[in-house]
Structure 1
Amino acid sequence: MPESTFTFRVEDTLKAAFADAAKQRDRTAAQLLRDFMRSYVVETQSSDPAYDAWLHRKAEAGERDYRAGRLISQEEATAKAAQRKAAILSQHDTL
């Protein structure tokens, strides 16, 4: 795979501290920077805008319910979840 050079400026103290931290982990600063870059690319590419929008809407709905006092106890939530699970499992058994 072809390689290229990536050049950027950073404070001397940060560069030295980063190089020391890398050395303590038997890595070079360049190895760690490549790892960070790969992780960032994977993280940003794995983001699903549709899911993020759905999750944002759910969070806003939960916030509205909370502010309006539409809450149930942990026990009620657990009981409802158990009922849903039982219903799903019973449908699965009849297939």
Structure 2
Amino acid sequence: MSTKAVFTMKLEPELRDEFMAATAEDDRPASQVVRELMRDYIKQRRQAREYDDYLRRKVEAARRQRDAGLHFSNEEVEAEAAARRVELLRRIGGEAGL
């Protein structure tokens, strides 16, 4: 990959020295590591934006369903779950008595 741009940044001398020592330990060019860090950062930000968009769409869909009356209250959900548990326990009890 050819260099097409130069990136200059200010940082503390101690940070630079530690970074350069760490890349030298790994026998890797500092510029290669910085490029990888940049790519990783860009990827993380893209994934965060995609997740935020996904979550926003899910919330909007839920709000549309709520506004259309296509929802259940917590009490209704809990009552349905309790009824299912009772039915399952009844079935298990009936099968155990065979």
TM-score, normalising length from structure 2?
0.48
- Structure with bigger gyration radius: 2
